[in-house]
Amino acid sequence: EAQVTQNPRYLITVTGKKLTVTCSQNMNHEYMSWYRQDPGLGLRQIYYSMNVEVTDKGDVPEGYKVSRKEKRNFPLILESPSPNQTSLYFCASSYRGSYGYTFGSGTRLTVV
Amino acid sequence: GENVGLHLPTLSVQEGDNSIINCAYSNSASDYFIWYKQESGKGPQFIIDIRSNMDKRQGQRVTVLLNKTVKHLSLQIAATQPGDSAVYFCAETGSARQLTFGSGTQLTVLP
């Protein structure tokens, strides 16, 4: 089944403890993206990747890092999480960029 | 649900009626528009798209209308069913890089 898989689905962590949210797609898509979703603010892009080793900042990149060493994986790294990063995170992939994203099921992150 | 927010517009319709969800977009340079459906606990799911050189596109039970003059997009759902209850987002883009989402509308289908 064609899909975008994120792990974990739920995560509670403490301020300052580094964490990684994994994202993997099995559709051989070149484009991958991370979004966060907050009430009243909709979905906002964090980082974007056009291909292996090619990444770029989105609208809200502060406090996040990404890497794209393989085509199928696009992990989101929070080096020192803070409570304002408590949110619902979505990974998405596409063969044609923003013209056709498939989204994962989301990761609910709580930073205390 | 995860998408309930103070500023999330809501729409309630009777089962079997038609639904119309509206969206105002911001960028006159956008050339591609998408409607997504998000059910509680799930990621956004593609419903239908439309390019800026069109003003109407139909799918199965759904129709998207685009009015570029007033930068307005609408999604019409025919014979609304309980399974249509969800948050609906419009999204716009003018490049492969950036997809901008609206804040969403919560659709509730009443029995």
Mutant choice from A99, A108, A110 vs B, greatest count of B C-beta within 10 A: A99
Q: How far is B111 from chain A (nearest CA, A)?
A: 27
Query: Whole-angstrom Cα distance, residue B58 to residue A38?
Result: 31
Q: Which residues of A make CB contacts under 8 Å with B?
A: 4, 31, 33, 37-45, 48, 50, 56, 58, 88, 90, 92, 96-106, 108
pLDDT grade for A19, boundaries at 50, 70 and 90: very high
Q: How is the beta sheet containing A65-66 ordered, strand by strand?
A: A4-7, A19-25, A76-78, A65-66
What pLDDT shows up at residue B1?
34
Inter-chain residue contact B44 with A41, CB threshold 8 Å: no
Beta strands in A1-112 (DSSP E): 4-7, 10-13, 19-25, 31-38, 42-51, 54-57, 65-66, 76-78, 87-94, 102-103, 107-111
pLDDT grade for B7, boundaries at 50, 70 and 90: low
Average pLDDT over residues A57-74: 96
What pLDDT shows up at residue B70?
93
How high is the mean pLDDT of chain A?
Answer: 94
- Does B2 have pLDDT greater than 50? no
Instruction: Dump pLDDT digits (tens) for A78-110.
Output: 999 999 999 999 999 998 877 789 999 999 999
Q: Residues of A96-110 as b/e, b for ≥16 C-beta within 10 angstroms?
A: ebbbbbbbbebbbbe
What pLDDT shows up at residue B4?
33
B35/A contact by beta carbon, under 8 A: no
Instruction: Dump pLDDT digits (tens) for A24-46.
Output: 999 999 999 999 999 878 899 99
